């Protein structure tokens, strides 16, 4: 046997990877599958229809119920509660339990509750005590009851410095850490009659738009975007209020704050874009280089990363 089981643990499964450690008072049923180099702490219970990847840490007092799939390098904190039936009744069982997936490198804090049928995205972080009622996108940080997105893990936050080095009042273009993404400050003309800001397409905005749309009346807790375009260029301006934008090129992520009507953000094709933390009065204006085409969208983050790394476009 190339894995360790404590003398006070009950491990009925033979599908345990090399280097995995099962500690006292844990109970693993025969159908469960565990990968290599996992750490299963005291008083963990794992049912039959459960798959656990490699290098997973499951802290004390956790139960993994039928229908759960845990991918590699996941951390599950003490007393995390998973569920697999939205409407449980004593002695009444559904034909199949809802499937829940915890993607690679996700972390779930102590005492969090995960409702059934959800996906916790790769590298996401669930805060301690959170009640997760909806799937969590990749890299998102969620807290509270119900859990809401408050940030993105491993994301450079340039919002405090999202201005040109010479100051926000000076028009110009500032690079970001994300490939091809640029932050633009336009000329603003204040006047006692009102202020004016102006930008010219192809000169200051690097394309001629064929479409525009506006996003407004977004509840503060909601997140927009969460997709990339294969060919379409976009340019974002918060004409009122403030919006935080996360740009991701498949390698790096950076967060920018749009909070002035003379500031815009250029997102080239093959940039994963997320907008969140809208202020109550926010109005986001978006110019797009192309007409709407559903085939131009990439809505799954894993697909986007694969295409970005291969250099493939439609």
Pairing status of strand 234-240 against strand 113-114: unpaired
Does an H or E element contain 273, and which?
Answer: strand 272-276
Please say if 227 is a catalytic residue: yes
Q: What is the largest CA-CA distance in the chain?
A: 81
Cβ-based neighbour number of residue 214 at 10 Å: 11
Q: How far apart are CA 310 and CA 314, in angstroms?
A: 12
Contact call for residues 256 and 265 (beta carbons, < 8 A): yes
Distance CA 65, CA 81 (A): 9
Instruction: Report the distance separating Cα 227 and Cα 120, nearest Å.
Output: 17
Active-site residue, selected from the candidate residues 27, 71, 184, 227: 227
DSSP-derived secondary structure for 41-63: -TT-EE-SSEEE-TT-EE-TT-E
Phi, psi of 106 (to 5 degrees): -75, 155
Beta bridge partners, 16, equal 34
Catalytic residues: 227
């Amino acid at each position: 046997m190339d894995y360790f089981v404590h003398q006070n643990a009950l491990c009925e499964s033979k599908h345990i990877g090399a280097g995995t450690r099962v500690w006292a008072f844990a109970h693993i049923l025969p159908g469960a599958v565990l990968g290599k180099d996992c750490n299963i702490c005291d008083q963990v219970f794992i049912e039959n229809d459960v798959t656990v990847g490699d290098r997973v840490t499951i802290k004390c007092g956790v139960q993994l119920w039928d229908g759960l799939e845990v991918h590699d390098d996941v951390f599950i904190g003490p007393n995390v509660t998973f569920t697999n039936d939205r409407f449980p009744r004593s002695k009444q069982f559904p034909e199949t339990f809802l499937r829940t997936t915890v993607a690679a490198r996700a972390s779930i804090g102590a005492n969090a509750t995960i409702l059934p049928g959800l996906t916790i995205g790769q590298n996401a972080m669930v805060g301690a005590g959170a009640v997760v009622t909806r799937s969590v996108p990749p890299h998102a940080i969620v807290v509270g009851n119900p859990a809401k997105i408050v940030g993105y893990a491993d994301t450079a936050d340039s919002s405090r410095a999202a201005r040109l080095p010479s100051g926000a009042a000076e028009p110009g273009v500032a690079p970001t850490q994300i490939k091809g993404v640029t932050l633009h400050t336009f000329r603003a003309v204040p006047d006692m009659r009102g202020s004016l800001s102006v930008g010219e397409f192809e000169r200051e905005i690097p394309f001629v738009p064929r479409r525009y749309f506006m996003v407004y009346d977004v509840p503060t807790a909601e997140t927009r975007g969460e997709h990339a375009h294969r060919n379409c260029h976009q340019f974002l301006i918060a004409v009122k209020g403030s919006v935080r934008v996360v740009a991701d090129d498949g390698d790096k992520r950076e967060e920018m704050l749009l909070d002035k009507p003379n500031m815009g953000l250029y997102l080239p094709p093959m940039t994963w874009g997320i907008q969140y933390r809208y202020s109550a009065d926010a109005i986001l204006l978006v110019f797009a280089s192309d007409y709407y085409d559903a085939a131009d969208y990439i809505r799954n983050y894993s697909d986007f990363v694969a295409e970005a790394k291969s250099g493939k476009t439609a």
